[in-house]
Amino acid sequence: MIQIKRLRIDYAGGTLVDIAFGIESALALVGQSGSGKSLTLKALLGMLPPAMSSTIEMDAPFELRRGDTVAFVPQNPFTALSPLTRVGGHFEGVPPAEAAALMTRVGLDAALLERFPPELSGGQLQRAVIAIALSHTPKLLLLDEPTTALDPETRRVIIALLRELQTQMGFQMLFVTHDIVSARALCDEVCVIREGSVVEQGAMAQVMASPEHAYTRTLIESSFAGREYRT
């Protein structure tokens, strides 16, 4: 269990984020644009803009170290990798045979290691980005809307892949999104935030079935509008 007892981000004399949450297995941090999701991930990765300061009080069985215990999957696979570096070149410090095995593990042909990122489809790129993120066997995977730039079918496939990889490799996940549908598909816990504060949190099934807060109800309704598979 990773307990973030307090995560606070200050900027220009004000507080942008002040939240607490726990990650048992897979937690979705859900909120509308500007609620503080990306800043929360940046704080955990130690990548906040220099003008911001953060305080993190946490209780976890390991220290958060980017590129070691913590890995990151960004929102847009099309810009995540350098277009001039072959896919294989992004597996820094990883023996080629291991990079090939990781590619296979995420459902890609290892021959794609020789290609340049613009020569892959969006779905293939996101799989490659996930393989690279997992190459140092992180304990915690941070995901910033990793399916937003993908079409709905590819989105479903990537979510299924992440679940499968989690079962095989045992990492914990913090999935940041404004999309409750994707959050529900990937995570069994949810923390809803608005304007840098927690609105409600709990088991995904419980919050989905009976949200306590009007903001959560609005998020659920707007996410499911027009989609046929509402429970």
Ligand X SMILES: Nc1ncnc2c1ncn2[C@@H]1O[C@H](COP(=O)(O)OP(=O)(O)OP(=O)(O)O)[C@@H](O)[C@H]1O
Tell me the CA distances in angstroms from 31 to 37, 48, 70, 200, 215, one per residue in order.
Answer: 7, 19, 22, 11, 9
Positive or negative: CA dihedral 138, 140, 144, 145: positive
* Site size with ligand X, rule: CB under 6 A: 12
CB atoms within 10 A of CB 3: 14
Residue 231 binding ligand X, by CB under 6 A: no
Tell me the CA distances in angstroms from 210 to 26, 205, 214, one per residue in order.
Answer: 20, 9, 11
Q: Cβ of residue 26: shortest distance to ligand X, in angstroms?
A: 19
Residue 31 binding ligand X, by CB under 6 A: yes
Residue 149 binding ligand X, by CB under 6 A: no
Residue 194 binding ligand X, by CB under 6 A: no
Q: Which stretch binds ligand X (CB under 6 A): 33-41, 60-68, 88-96, 215-223?
A: 33-41
Residue 184 binding ligand X, by CB under 6 A: no
Quote the distance between the C-alpha of residue 10 and its chain's center: 23
Q: Cβ of residue 16: shortest distance to ligand X, in angstroms?
A: 4
Residue 37 binding ligand X, by CB under 6 A: yes
- Is residue 29 within 8 A of residue 175, CB to CB? The reply is yes
Task: Choose between 33 and 167: whose C-beta lies nearer to ligand X.
Answer: 33
Residue 178 binding ligand X, by CB under 6 A: yes
Those residues whose C-beta lies under 8 Å from the C-beta of residue 50, and which sit 6 or more positions away, are: none
- Which of 36, 117, 123, 211 touches ligand X by CB under 6 A? 36
Q: Two tokens at 58?
A: 């946490």
- Which of 49, 50, 93, 226 touches ligand X by CB under 6 A? 49
Q: Which residues bind ligand X (CB under 6 A)?
A: 11, 16, 31, 33-39, 49, 178
